[in-house]
Structures are given as C-alpha cells and as structure tokens.
Amino acid sequence: MHEFPHRYLASAVGGPSATISTTSPDLPELAANTPPEFDGPPGFWSPETMLTGAVANCLILTWRSVAAHNGFEWTSISVDAVGVLDRVERVTRFTRFDLTVRLTVPAGTDAERADKLMRKAESVCLVTNSLNAEIFLELELVTA
C-alpha cells in the first residue's frame, strides 16, 4: 500500500441539460445525469447511485481484506445496497444505507464468526466511515 494521504482524481463535464461525462485517468468514461427521482432521464448513473454503489463496492473490497487477514474461507459475496435520501432539517442528505449481504461459504463454516468478521468489515469500510448516514447490515450465509 502507498503512504497516506492518497488522492483520487475525477473530472466531470456537462452542459445546461446534457449528460455529464465523468472521467478519471485510465478508466472508462461514465455517463451520468439527474436521477428519475429528480425528474431526470432513466438509464444513467447519478451521483446518488454512484455513492450507493461505492458503499456496496467498498464493503466487498474491505471484506476481502478482513477475511484474508483472518484466514476466513468463502467463495462469493454480493451486496445489495439501498441508499435512503431524505430531507432533514431542510437539508437533503442520505440518512441511511441498508446493506443486504449474501456470503457463500463452505459447509461447516462458523456462522457467528462470519457475522463478526462481516461487521468488522463494515466498521472499517472507508466509504461508510466517511458518511454521516446510518448503516444497517443484514448478512445471509449460503453454504456452497
């Protein structure tokens, strides 16, 4: 790992009503627009969906690290994330993220240990640690 602080570059370009082009060096362009909930067109990533996706991705990547560090065997993981945007004291913000994690593990896996390590991964995820929204995690273990 590189020394801290890390810096991440992203650029966005758009016009009065056009789709926004979001770029970062050596990455594919990502088209974004206002979400349908704010009367935008369907079919585009929005800042809201990007943030919700970042929460789901960060949990998986953090899980990989926590599981490896603890010698925990698993075969696959999926995370369904629901970001809840609301108005609180006249400010629109994400108030919570509901995470449904489906973790596939070998037969005979200690379910309590899996849950403990997953909660550890959630607690050290850098994206959720950077937010002031509540995080709710539900873990479903599936035996391979």
pLDDT band at 144 (very low <50, low <70, confident <90, very high): confident
Q: Give the residue-averaged pLDDT of 58-78.
A: 98
| pTM given for the model | 0.94
Q: What are the pLDDT digits (tens) for 79-91?
A: 999 999 999 999 9
Residue 17 pLDDT > 90 = no
H helix or E strand, kind and range, residue 19? none
Percent of the chain with pLDDT strictly greater than 70: 100
The label of the residue with tokens 């362009």 reads 29
pLDDT band at 18 (very low <50, low <70, confident <90, very high): confident
Q: What are the pLDDT digits (tens) for 92-133?
A: 999 999 999 999 999 999 999 999 999 999 999 999 999 999
Query: Angle 34-49-134 (CA atoms, 0-180°, nearest 5)?
Result: 125
